[in-house]
Structure formats: structure tokens, C-alpha cells
Structure 1
Amino acid sequence: MLRLAVTGAGGFLGWHVRVLLRALGWPEPTVITRGDLADPAAVAAKVAGVDRVLHLAGVNRGEPAEVAAGNVQLAAQLADGLRHAAVPPGSVLFANSVQAGNGTPYGDSKATAAGILADTGLPVDDVLLPNLYGEHGRPYYNSAVATFCRVLAEGGHPEVHADRELSLVHVTDAAARIAGVPAGGSWDPAMPALRVGVRELADRLARMAATYRTGEIPSLTDRHDVRLFNTYRSHCFPAHYPMPLPRRADPRGELVETVKAHGGSGQTFCSTTRPGITRGEHFHLAKVERFVVLRGSAEISLRRVGSTEVLRFPVDGDEPVLIDMPTMWVHKLVNTGADELVTLFWTNELFDPGRPDTWPEAVEQTRAKPVAVGA
């Protein structure tokens, strides 16, 4: 368990690093802001004695001159602060790029930044990262995956202007590599890559979106399928939920099709919950999980990890709906009625007590801001 300091903690990779550390119960990393980087004394105070400094801050998009100058300046500011530290950190990790030194303003600035950090004399782990994708990436900025997912979530069709092969790594795998987290959960610090053409990627995501439009689960044949689907779902939440479910009745009774999963395994279970009782209070890093209340009334509450805003969905068995829990959102279900609650749960994988992918955390936080959805 390392003591870490992080630049770029609010960015795409930085947020995923903090979520993974939170799941594992590691100490909150010390955050070095852009304002801190402008003050060598502030940086020195924050890095003093930590085990590792993670330099994740960078400039990926913009005018070429601004991108080049930004990456070099950030590294130079951090290096200045490192030299002033009373107790130097144990090491520095630099989130570099496979494009380093490729002759572009971005690639050359990343290579220069690596050299600046190496000149501090501290051990530097220069990690060359490929294209990263994952939940809550910024469309038109972080990756083609984020862009395609947002376009599909809004009902559009991704446009592919030039096809080429991509090497994609899920951001939680990169977070594990960067933070020094050993393998053993839903992450893999070896960063297994998905090699896929841009057009094939767009088609793959479009098929997932088309299947999921009616609440059906697409075929999830490998870990990248699961993570691409979770990434797509992150762009659907909360606007697409709750999703209504068709109810069919005849003289024998009623039927509700709650889960239709294409070509995959999974686990379905049903629970009863007494009035006033809460279930959940945890989040998942990779698991796909569905809640459907079949009898009684309840409130399903969710909060994105690291946020204080709570989303609340009132649900009732008289009008069955599905709500799929987005990964990296803390969630709970509370029986708000006077009678016993009957709820169906489905997950895309069989429960493994040794690797449950269930990380305890309360939904309600101090100063949480409630937001009612679908009331």
C-alpha cells in the first residue's frame, strides 16, 4: 500500500486511479493541482516523503503549439518542485504515450517531458500508454470510444472518415499499472490491449447500442466486450433510465420479461426486503447489474464515486422498470412501502466469493445533493 501524490487527479485517468485506490482501501492520494505546479514550494510540500508521484497531468488536444508547450511546462514545473522537496519521493511515474518522439508536437513534447523528469535524478517509471477507453471519458477528447458511445447514446450513427487499427486499453487496467496494484481483481496491470479497426469498433458499439435500446443485454464474450458495454452505458446514464418493461397478462396471471441476455452467462436471483430495510451500499468496477422491482415500492439511489450528487429513482412493482447499475457508481435500494418488497437482480457473471467485485461505500455522504429522477 503506497503513499501517492498525483497530478491530473481530476482528469480521465486520474479519476479512475482514485476510484481503484478507493475500492482497495488505500489512502487518498495527495492531489497536486495546476495551481500547485506553479509554486515550487507547494509542490515540494506535497511530494515530501511520498512513495511515488504519479504525473498524469497533460495536454492532449488544442493548437499544436499549446499542446507542445503545455506538456513541457507541466513536467518542468513538477521537476522544479521535486528538487525543492525536503524529503524526496521514492520515485516518479510518468503517464507517457506510445506516440512519444513520433515527430508530432504532442509526441515530441511527451518525450521532452520524460527527459525533464529523468533529469531530476529520481527513479522515473516512464509508462508508454496506448489509447485508453472507459467509463465517463470525454467525447471528442479522450478517445474514439467515448465519441462513438456519446453519438450512439444520443441516437446518432458514428462516422468513420479514416480506418486504421487501434490498440485500446481499459483505463482501470492502466490505473492498476500506474498505481502499482497487483493483479487479482477485475483489473489487469499487464494492460491487455484490444486491437481493433476504427470501423470495426464503431460497428461493434453500434450493435451493442441497438440491442440495448430495448433493455436487452448484448453478447459479452470477453472482458473487452464487458468494458466497452460498460463504457457505452456510462453515456446512457441517467437519461435512459428507468427503462419500461412490457407486462403480459392472461387468466393464469402476469409475466414480465426482465432480462434477455444474448449469448452470455450470468446469474439471476430474487430477494424479499422488509419495510425500511436497505440493500446495496457498494459499487462495482466491472460487473453489469440489473435491478427490477416486481412487487412493492422502493427507491434506488446512486452516486458517482468521488461526487456528492445523489440520483434517486422511485420505482414500483405495479409498473415494472429496469435500472442497470453503472460501474463506479455507489448504489442502494430501500423498501419505502408498508409491505414486503420483491426484487429481481441479474448480473452478467456468476458470483465468485474470492473476487466479488463489490466495494463497500455508503451512498449518502456529507453535503450530498439529492436529485430526484423519474418522480
Structure 2
Amino acid sequence: MKTVLVTGAYGFIGRNLVASLNRREDIEVMKIDSKNSLQELEEYAHKADFIYHLAGINRPENTEEFMTGNLGSTQHLINILNSTGKKTPILLSSSIQAEQDNAYGNSKRAAEEAVSAYGHQKGARTFIYRLPNVFGKWSKPNYNSVVATWCYNISREIPIQVNNPESEVKLVYIDDVVESFIAALDTLSGTYSSDYYDISRSFNVKLKDLEASLVSFKMSRNTLVISSLKSDFERFLYSTYLSYLPENNFGYDLEMKHDNRGWLAEFIKTEHSGQVFISRTKPGITRGNHWHHTKVEKFLVIEGEAVVKFRQIEGEEILEYPVNGLSLRVIDIPPGYTHSITNTGTTDVITLFWANELFNPEKPDTYYLEV
């Protein structure tokens, strides 16, 4: 079993990394943050077979604290390791700001140089990651992440500020970061130059596009139209947005259209993959009796008993497909067949429907004709 020390374990990256490491039966995780004592740090550093050094400062009250929080904490950890005589591998979470000549960048670059020197002097393996903007669940809003801040604000209808909509930001997803970090522990290999490693996948996005995506996620509760989520970035961003919803606002209501047959409600709409809706139908009631030129659908009864009937619009033969909620069976609705679904039981029927296109009242492609 490997004993792993994570400093900054309760920060954004630390929490995600520890959550993944804790799933491993071959790893024991020791966690350190600012609340732990120096004695605890020394004890854990002596035990560790591998160290993730994620602790640091990026929003101090004065700029002098950058060196203390970034270089100072790193050098203290290295001093502890030097006293042990061990060649403990270290992975340092740094920032692309290390390439800039500012107080924060200088402190991160100095921490990198300290780790690199330790590795060369001791013959220990070191991994230095100059991370761009990382996004994902558990990042702190209104701190140092535009994605976290905008997800938090937009989900709460708090205005956001976009100074230059055309400017691009380089982003990496937290799961990719964690995967790369754990690969370093497992294989001691990766894409690197000297001691420097990169996350294999990144995303460059304009601020105006980032804002538009997040606003569309917000509006989807009203429109029911969900982004196609075709790209990995869109999927990751949507997951991230949902992680910032207020805890008292996870749920939202659907509009239920009631009539003498029961009710029907739209659930999810997509611009390219159609829509899903659900209905409750009373005993003896028939829905449908219409056909489509191009639109196709799928019916799935999940409760109750029913029969789906078809007739080719120019024919006379009626096809019947009995369905019930005890043995789930999906019924495809081809174009050119008038069709209906009738509740043949003594209890209400609950049916899920999928259509391959959004309903357009100006061009419904739905024509009444009894089966």
C-alpha cells in the first residue's frame, strides 16, 4: 500500500483528488491544510511515499504573502524531506502565472525552482504542473475562477461582468487534472519537458461563448431546451454549472396540461435530438389518432396496460401492440402510419414519449386520422 500526502487537501483540486484517491484500496491518504500543525506536517511527510503539494496562496491581503505562502511553504516541506534521507517524489501544482513577472507568478516560479532543485539534488522524481484555469465542481466562486464565479452568479440571477467578450481563456477540466495527477503516482510517466508536465487536454473558449452557454443552461429550466452537449467541453461545463445550483433550488416544476384524458407534460427538449414528454391517461381513454409525414416517435408505457394501434394511412389492416408497465417494451412509430394508444386497464397509464424533432406549431407535421 502506498502512503500519499496531499497538502492543500481541502482546496478545489485537493478535494477532487482526495475523493478519487480514497476510492483506491491500495492507497492511504494523509491530508494537510492550513489548520494542521507543523508537527503533523512533519509526521506525515516522513511517512509519505508520494507527495501532492497543492497548498499555496493566490489571494493574500498583501503581496508579500505570496512568497511566504508559495515559496515558503514549499521550502519548508523540502527541508523536512531533506532531513529524512528519503527520495520522496513530489508533484507540485503550479500555475501558468509562473511565466509572468508579477508577485504571484514570481512566487510560483520560485516554488517550482525549489522543487526542481530538490529533485536533482536528491535524485527524487518531481512533477511540476503549470496549470491554466481549472474548472469543475467545488471550485470557490468569486475567488480566482471565472467559470466558478459565473456559474454561481448566473444560477442565482446575480449579474456578471464581461470586460472583453472576445478574449479567450484556456481551461482544463478538474477530472483531467486528477487523472493526470494519479497517473504520475501510478506510472511515474507522462508528457513533460524536464520536470514540467501538461494536462493532455485543454479548451480555449471566448468569454462571450462561455457566458452564452451558461445562460442557456440557466434558461433551460424555462424553455426545457438542453444544449446538445456534443462536445466534451459542453458536457463538462454543464456538469460544472449544475454543481453550483443553490441547495434549495435543485428541483423545478414542469407545466402539466390537464384535460379529460389525464395530463401531458414536456420534459426535455434538444435542438438536434428531439424531445421527451410524459403523459397520464385514464382507463378507456385513447390518445393519438394522427399520423406524420416525417416525424417519428417512440412510446414506452411504464405503468398500467395499453394497446398501441397502427394503420397505414392508405390501408385498412390494423396492427395492435399490447404494452404494460411490467415488461417494458418500446414501440417505434414510423411515418405514414396513423397510430393511437388506448388505456385497456383499470388504472391510469403512464407513458414516456420521444419525438425526433421539437414540436413546431407553425409546421406540426401532425394530421388527424382515426386508426
- TM-score class, shorter-chain normalisation, is 0.5 to 0.7
Equivalent position of 2:249 in the other structure: 240
- How big is the shift at 1:47? 2.6
Q: Which runs of 5+ in 2 are unaligned?
A: 188-197, 279-301, 304-349, 355-371
Conserved? CA contact 1:44–1:84, under 8 Å: no
Q: Which residue of 2 aligns with 1:51?
A: 49
My pick for the range that moved more, 212-221 or 123-132, is 212-221
Q: After superposition, what is the alpha-carbon deviation per residue over 1:50-77, rounded to whole angstroms, capped at 9, x for unaligned?
A: 3320000111113322223311111122
Name the structure 1 match of 2:160: 158
Instruction: Indicate the residue corresponding to 2:217 in structure 1.
Output: 208
| Structure 1 runs not aligned, ≥5 long | 184-188, 270-293, 296-341, 347-375
1:76–1:245 distance in 2 versus 1, CA, 3 Å: same
- Mapped contact 1:96–1:110 kept (Cα < 8 A): yes
Cα drift, residue 162 of structure 1: 3.4
Equivalent residue of 1:95, what SS? Answer: strand
Any idea what SS the aligned residue of 1:263 has? coil
The DSSP-based 3-state class of the residue aligned with 1:260 is strand
- Give the superposition deviation at 1:96: 1.0
- Quick one: distance in 2 between partners of 1:173 and 1:100? 21
Aligned-pair distance for 1:117? 2.1
Change in 2 beyond 3 A, CA 1:225/1:18: same
Q: 1:177 aligns with which of 170, 180, 185?
A: 180
Distance of 2:276 and 2:4 partners within structure 1: 38
Q: 1 CA distance for matches of 2:6 and 2:351?
A: 41
The TM-score, its normalising length taken from structure 1, stands at 0.63
Relative distance call for 1:239 and 1:74 in structure 2 (3 A) is same
Q: What's the CA shift for 1:160?
A: 0.8
Does residue 135 in structure 1 map to residue 144 in structure 2? no
Other-structure match for 1:308: none
What does 1:61-72 align with in structure 2 at a 5 Å threshold?
A: 61-62=59-60, 63-72=62-71
Partner of 1:3: 3
Query: With structure 2 as the length reference, what TM-score do the two structures score?
Result: 0.64
Highest relative contact order (Cα 8 Å, sep 6+), 1 or 2? 1
Q: Secondary structure at the match of 1:34?
A: coil
**Distance between the aligned counterparts of 1:261 and 1:2, measured in 2?**
46
Provide the residue aligned with 2:83 in structure 1.
Answer: 84
Report the Cα offset of residue 251 of structure 1.
2.7
Q: What code does the residue aligned with 2:84 have? A: A
Q: Which residue in 2 is equivalent to 1:221?
A: 230
The alignment of Structure 1 onto Structure 2 pairs a total of residues equal to 272
Counterparts of residues 19-30 of structure 1 (less than 5 Å): 19-23=19-23, 27-30=27-30
Query: 2:107 is aligned with what amino acid?
Result: S
- Between the aligned partners of 2:100 and 2:23, the Cα distance in structure 1 is 36
Q: 1:118 aligns with which of 116, 119, 124?
A: 116
Local SS of the residue matching 2:226: coil
Among 75, 93, 96, which residue is 2:94 paired with?
Answer: 96
**Whose Rg is larger?**
2
Matched-pair contact (CA < 8 Å) for 1:133–1:142: no
Shift of 1:98: 1.4
Distance change (3 Å), C-alpha of 1:231 and 1:264: farther
Taking structure 1 as reference, are residues 240 and 218 closer, same or farther at Cα in structure 2, changes over 3 Å only? farther
1:150-181 alpha-carbon deviations (Å, 9 max, x no partner): 11111133211235221100111111111227
In structure 2, the residue corresponding to 1:59 is in which secondary structure?
A: coil
1:167 aligns with 2:170: yes
Residue 124 of structure 1 aligns with an amino acid whose one-letter code is T
Q: Find 1:260's aligned residue among 246, 260, 269.
A: 269
Structure 1 residues 25 and 155: CA distance shift in structure 2, 3 A: farther
Question: Do the aligned partners of residues 38 and 45 (structure 1) sit closer, same or farther apart at CA in structure 2, a change above 3 Å counting?
Answer: closer
Deviates further, 247-256 or 142-151: 247-256
Distance in 1 between residues matched to 2:4 and 2:276, nearest whole Å: 38
The correspondence of residues 278-317 of structure 1 with structure 2, limited to 5 A, is: none
Go from structure 1 to structure 2 and tell me whether the alpha carbon gap of 1:19 and 1:123 turns closer, same or farther (over 3 Å shift). same
Against the structure 1 CA distance between its residues 37 and 138, is the aligned structure 2 distance closer, same or farther, given a 3 Å change threshold? same
Q: State the one-letter code of the partner of 1:159.
A: Q
Deviation of 1:8 (Å): 0.4
After superposing the two structures, state which structure 1 stretch, 94-103 or 30-39, moved more. Answer: 30-39
Q: Is the 8 A contact 1:48 1:88 kept in 2?
A: no
Partner-residue secondary structure (3-state), 1:180: helix
Shift of 1:224: 0.8
Distance, in Å, in 1 between the alignment partners of 2:75 and 2:37 is 9
The 8 Å contact of residues 2 and 28 in structure 2, kept in 1 or not, is answered as no
**Cα drift, residue 86 of structure 1:** 6.0
- The alpha carbon displacement at 1:231 in A equals 1.2
CA distances 1:309-362 after superposition (whole Å, capped 9, x unpaired): xxxxxxxxxxxxxxxxxxxxxxxxxxxxxxxxx998x9xxxxxxxxxxxxxxxx
Aligned partners of 1:3, 1:160: CA distance in 2, in Å? 44
SS at match of 2:164: coil
Of stretches 260-269 and 249-258 in structure 1, the one that deviates more from structure 2 is 260-269
Tell whether the 8 Å contact from 1:215 to 1:243 is kept in structure 2 after alignment: no
Deviation at 1:266, TM superposition (A): 10
Cα deviation per residue 1:243-275 (whole Å; 9 max; x = unaligned)?
112212223332222333343599999xxxxxx
Identical residues among aligned pairs (%): 26
Shift of 1:191: 3.7
